[in-house]
Structure 1
Amino acid sequence: MTDLASFTRQLTDPGVCLIPADETARQLGTGPEQWAAFDRHWDELLPDPYLRSSGTVRLRRYGHMGLRRSGEWRSRPHDAFVQPGNTNPLYIGEERHFAPLTEAFAADPVLARLLSLLAEAAAVLADPPEWTVKIHPFRIVATAGRSGEPTPEGVHRDGVTLVSSLLVDRRNAVGGESAVYHPDGTPLFSTVLEQPGTLLLGDDRSTLHEVSAVWPRATGQPAHRDVLVITLAEP
């Protein structure tokens, strides 16, 4: 198995790393059947009511956990989500209330293995006794007449230590470029997450990020992009 450190050392310089899908699968020990079962949780997401006038169809849920350096985790009471580091003034300090993760999602072994992997990755940035973890499964839907905006808030940071984006599924979609920037806004890294299982990690303290619009490849059919965003913050 490839040493995870060969990827995560890039979190300290330049502040972002990309783990290919096949390597993520090796690290998580997942096969096609487990991944397909994990993917089905995205069919149970609910509409995001906080998109104002953007017109984007975004489905999501939200979970809050504590994660120890050993990879052990515990659920925390469901609460309002606040994104303190957002650089868009419309979102700073705003409380947003989302439906919790389903019991099946929270208990999925793929999620447990992913949390353990992220705890190991984040240890190169900081080593608190327990991380504060926020879990956000997203589905962005696009049609011929309406794009899907994964980050309608624009270029921002989340106000955490580690931010991760795991591509879970992508159907009939073009666009959706993940871009990472230096704090002054100059480009640092960009990629399109194409293959399910691709994992993008960033040091949120030293970078900004956004994702461009998604459009249908075949205009007669809808498109969607399923991503799991997990953030780790020091208490």
Structure 2
Amino acid sequence: MDESTERFWGPAETTAFQECPPAVAAARESLASTGVHLMPAATVRAHFGSGEEEWARFASHWEDLSQDRYAAERGTCRLRRYGQFSLTPATGEMAQLPDTPFMQPDRSNPLYVDVDRHFEPLTDAFVADPLLRSVVSLLGHVAGALDSGACWIAKVHPFRVLATVDDEGQPTPEGRHRDGVTLVSSLLVGRNNATGGRSTVFAPDGPELLATTLDEPASLLLSDDRHTLHGVSPIRPLDPSRPAHRDVLVTTLTPA
């Protein structure tokens, strides 16, 4: 990672903003102007300087997720883990925070108002993976277009949504919603035998701002959660004789 990517760019720092790596500069500009940005997989991989071996190692962590019992109670088969980090973009410091229940603010997720959800923590191997640090660091730099906070809280959710011929998979059973954060991101890690899973970001009054199907691992969708809504359509098996799954890393950032 070059020296410029280790800096923090606040919204008013015009000169530093112009020195951003191209991927970061494009994302910041889109988020500031439209509230949404899609970073193609090739751009993400090039920014991280990662190859197939690194992404295969990263994807292997999705084989070690735990059942989401809250989703199961509503008929959705979903696996996940959860953890939090503090991030200081100016120094690149990233520290894991103690495990706590996950709770979303009022008026964000209508399915779980005032519900503390307890999920299995992130594995040590996942926390130690260099690609996780790269993803969170990138998001910290991008989020500087939305808020000038010097430190961020990153909430990290590796998800696997499963589907069979009899049960479609629901990535967002709550429908279009906010997460109650500043920046929300969805990084595609993998899809197997899946159709559907179209991600859409909406303006608060309803029009679509962007709709895309994340189908190439490392594709990254970013949105300003304060001023947009988002949702993902169900997935179904392409081959009805086999199950389908969709693996994503959802990471949100709020100022500390």
Fold match (TM-score > 0.5): yes
Cα distance in 1 for partners of 2:208, 2:24 equals 25
Q: Which secondary structure state, in structure 1, belongs to the residue aligned with residue 112 of structure 2?
A: coil
Matched letter for residue 40 of structure 1: S
Residue aligning to 1:153: 174
Structure 1 85/186 Cα, relative in aligned 2: closer, same or farther at 3 Å?
farther
Structure 2 contact 86–151 (Cα < 8 Å) conserved: yes
Tell me the residue number matched to 1:13.
Answer: 33
Q: Is the 8 A contact 2:80 2:159 kept in 1?
A: yes
**5+ residue gaps, structure 2:** 1-20
For 2:251 and 2:221, the matched residues in 1 are separated by 11
Per the alignment, residue 46 of structure 2 pairs with 26
The TM-score, its normalising length taken from structure 2, stands at 0.89
Q: Is the 8 A contact 1:67 1:133 kept in 2?
A: yes
User: Is 1:139–1:225's contact at 8 Å kept on the other side of the alignment?
Assistant: yes
Equivalent position of 1:115 in the other structure: 136
Name the larger-Rg structure. Answer: 2
CA displacement 1:6-33 (0-9 Å, x = unmatched):
2331001210000000000011111000
The alpha-carbon deviation at position 44 of structure 1 amounts to 0.2
Give the Å deviation of 1:52: 5.2
2:164 corresponding residue in structure 1: 143
Aligned pair count reads 235
Please tell me the residue identity of whatever aligns with 2:140.
A
Contact 1:86/1:158 (<8 A) preserved: no
Residues 87 and 161 of structure 1, relative CA distance in 2, 3 Å threshold: closer
2:87 corresponds to which of 44, 67, 73? 67
1:95, distance to aligned residue in structure 2 (A): 0.6
Q: How does 1:188-227 map to 2 (within 5 A)?
A: 188-227=209-248
- The 1:111–1:27 alpha-carbon spacing in structure 2 relative to 1, beyond 3 Å, is same
Q: How far apart, in 2, do the equivalents of 1:108 and 1:90 lie? A: 32
SS state at 1:121 partner = helix
Please say if residues 87 and 155 of structure 1, whose CA atoms lie closer than 8 Å, have aligned partners that are also in contact: no
The structural deviation recorded for 1:54 is 3.0
Are 2:119 and 1:101 equivalent residues in the alignment?
A: no
TM-score normalised by L of structure 1: 0.96
Distance change in 2, residues 1:39/1:98 (3 Å): same
**SS of corresponding position for 1:116:** helix
1:176/1:211 contact within 8 Å kept: yes
**Shift of residue 37 of structure 1?**
0.4
AA at the equivalent of 1:201: L
Q: Secondary structure at the match of 1:39?
A: helix
- 3-state secondary structure, aligned to 1:169: strand
- Using the alignment, how far apart are the partners of 1:6 and 1:90 within structure 2? 34
RMSD over aligned Cα, in angstroms?
1.3
Letter aligned with residue 48 of structure 2 = L
Whether the aligned pair in 1 keeps the contact of 2:181 and 2:252 (CA below 8 Å) is: yes
Structure 1: give runs of 5+ residues left out of the alignment.
none
CA distance in 2, matches of 1:23, 1:166: 13
State the identity %. Answer: 50
